[in-house]
Amino acid sequence: MAEPRNLVQKLLAGHLSAGDLIPGEEIDLAVDQILIEDATGSMTALQFEALEVERIDVPLAVMYVDHNVLQIDDKNMDEHRFLQSFSARYGIHYSRPGNGISHYVHLERFARPGEVLVGADSHSTMAGAVGMLAIGAGGLDVAAAMAGYGFSLECPKVVGVELRGELPDWVQSKDVILELLRRYGVRGGQGRVFEFTGEDVAALSVTDRGTICNMITELGATAAVFPSDERVREWLAAQEREDDYMPYVADPDAAYDEVEVVDLSELEPLIAKPHSPGNVVPVREVAGTKTVQVCVGSSVNSSYEDLAVVGAVLKNGIVHPSIEMTVTPGSRQILDIISRGGVYGDLVAAGARMLEPVCGPCIGVGQAPVSGEPSVRTFNRNFPGRSGTPGDEVYLCSPATAAATALEGEISDPRELGGPPDIEPAPSNPGVDDRHILAPPSPEEARSVEILRGPNIVPPPEGDPLPENLEGRVVIVVGDDVSTGDMAPDGALGMSLWSNIPECAKYMFHRQDPEFHDRALQWGGGFVVGGHNYGQGSSREQAAISPLHLGIRAIVARSFARIHRRNLIGQGILPLVFADEDDYEKVSRGDEWKMEGVRETVASRETELVARSKDGKEIPLEARLLPREREVLLSGGMLKHLREGGQERIGITEGDSPAAESGGPQSRERS
Same domain, 333 and 261: no
Q: What is the pLDDT of residues 473-484, one digit of tens each?
A: 999 999 999 999
- Tell whether the model's pLDDT for residue 299 goes beyond 90: no
Question: Using an 8 Å Cβ cutoff, are 484 and 540 in contact?
Answer: yes
pLDDT given for residue 614 in this prediction: 87
Model pLDDT for residues 94-113, shown as the tens digit of each residue: 999 999 999 999 999 999 99
Distance CA 457, CA 435 (A): 28
Closest CA relative to residue 529, chosen from 471, 571, 587, 574: 587
476 touches 528 (CB < 8 A): yes
- State the chain's mean pLDDT as an integer: 93
pLDDT tens-digit readout, 357-392: 998 888 878 888 999 999 999 999 999 988 888 899
What distance in Å separates the CA atoms of residue 578 and residue 582, rounded to the nearest whole number?
Answer: 8
CA distances from 151 to 123, 146, 420 (A): 17, 9, 45
CA–CA separation, 214 and 579 (whole Å): 33
Of the candidates 253, 266, 260, 248, the residue with the CA atom closest to the CA atom of residue 189: 260
Which CATH number goes with the domain that contains 301? Answer: 3.30.499.10
Name the band, by pLDDT with cuts 50, 70 and 90, for residue 428: confident
The mean pLDDT value for 324-344 works out to: 95
Which range has the worst mean pLDDT, 48-57, 65-74, 170-179? Answer: 65-74
What gap in Å lies between CA 198 and CA 27, rounded to an integer? 28
User: So what's the pLDDT on residue 1?
Assistant: 58
Indicate the range of 144-148, 239-243, 341-345, 613-617 predicted with least confidence: 613-617
In this structure, are 400 and 277 located in the same domain? yes
Between helix 38-50 and helix 74-90 the angle, nearest 10°, is 50
> Percentage of residues in the chain with pLDDT exceeding 70?
97
Q: Strand 192-197 and strand 223-225: pairing?
A: parallel
Identify the domain boundary among 266, 281, 297: 266
pLDDT at 654 over 70: no
**Distance (Å, whole) CA 607 – CA 597:** 11
Q: Given this model, what pLDDT does residue 195 score?
A: 98
Tell which residue, 242, 657, 228, has the closest CA to residue 667. Answer: 657
User: Which residue from 339, 368, 340 is spatially nearest to 356, judged by alpha carbons?
Assistant: 339
Tell me the mean pLDDT in the region 426-440: 90
Cα–Cα distance for residue pair 637/569, rounded to 1 Å: 7
Neighbours of 8 (CB within 10 A): 28
Angle, CA 344 vertex, CA 342 and CA 346 arms, to 5° = 70
Distance in angstroms (rounded) separating the CA atoms of residues 130 and 136 = 16
Is position 149 within any domain? yes
Pairing mode, strands 280-282 and 270-272: antiparallel
Question: Are 217 and 329 within one domain?
Answer: no
CB 461 within 8 A of CB 549: yes
| Angle subtended by helix axes 102-109 and 206-215, to nearest 10 | 140
Domain boundary among 417, 443, 459: 417
Asked whether the predicted pLDDT for residue 659 surpasses 60, the reply is: no
Residue 252 lies in a domain: yes
Neighbouring C-beta atoms of residue 498, cutoff 10 Å: 28
| Domain final residue pick, 266, 282, 316 | 266
How high is the pLDDT of residue 352? 97
Q: Please tell me whether residues 130 and 253 are part of one structural domain.
A: yes
Can you give the residue range of the structural domain that contains 77? 7-266
- pLDDT band at 663, cuts 50/70/90? very low
Residue-wise DSSP of 374-404:
EEEE-SS---TTTTS-TT-EEEEE-HHHHHH
Please determine, for residue 283, whether its predicted confidence score (pLDDT) is greater than 60: yes
Specify the pTM.
0.95
pLDDT of residue 651: 63
Position 670 in a domain: no
The pLDDT of 651-662, averaged and rounded, is 46
In angstroms, the CA 465 to CA 307 distance is 51
For 584-627, the pLDDT digits (tens) are 999 999 999 999 999 999 999 999 999 999 888 999 999 999 99
Number of domains in the chain: 3
Interatomic CA distance for residues 175 and 396, integer angstroms: 10
Do 57 and 162 lie in one domain? The reply is: yes
Strand partners, 610: 620
If asked whether residues 144 and 256 sit together in one domain, one would say: yes
Residues 190 and 76 in one domain: yes
215 and 324 belong to one structural domain: no
pLDDT at res. 664: 33
Residue 296 and residue 324 in one domain: yes
Structural element, H or E, at residue 621: strand 618-622
| Assigned domain for 648 exists | no
SS3 278: coil
Domain contains 140: yes
Q: What are the residues whose beta carbons fall under 8 Å from the beta carbon of 260, sequence distance 6 or more?
A: 159, 160, 161, 162, 180, 183, 194
Chain-centre distance of CA 311, in angstroms?
A: 28
Q: According to the model, what pLDDT value does residue 652 have?
A: 59
Q: Is residue 30 domain-resident?
A: yes
Within this chain, do residues 378 and 519 fall inside the same structural domain, yes or no?
no
CB neighbourhood size of 583 (10 A): 18
| Whether the Cβ atoms of residue 55 and residue 28 lie closer than 8 Å to each other | no
Residue 291 lies in a domain: yes
What backbone phi and psi angles, to 5 degrees, belong to 27? Answer: -130, 155
H-run or E-run covering 530: strand 526-530
pLDDT of 71 reads 83
Backbone Cα Rg of the chain: 24
Mean pLDDT of 562-580: 97
Q: In the predicted model, is pLDDT for residue 671 greater than 80?
A: no
Query: Does residue 294 sit in the same domain as residue 247?
Result: no
pLDDT of residue 367: 87
What single-letter amino acid sits at 337?
A: I
User: Which is nearest to 161 in space by CA: 112, 123, 204?
Assistant: 204
Q: Is the pLDDT of residue 533 over 60?
A: yes
The per-residue pLDDT for 366 is 82
DSSP for 512-527 reads T-TTHHHHHHHTT-EE
Of the CA atoms within 13 Å of residue 551, those in its CB half-sphere come to 17
Which pLDDT value is given to residue 416? 96
Position 667 pLDDT exceeds 50: no
Say if residue 210's pLDDT is above 90: yes
According to DSSP, the β-strands at 280-282 and 223-225 are unpaired
pLDDT of residue 649: 84
Query: What is the C-alpha to C-alpha distance for residues 612 and 352, in angstroms, rounded to an integer?
Result: 59
Asked if the structure places residue 664 within a domain, the reply is no
Chain centroid, CA 66 distance in Å: 14
pLDDT at 142 over 70: yes
Same domain, 384 and 259: no
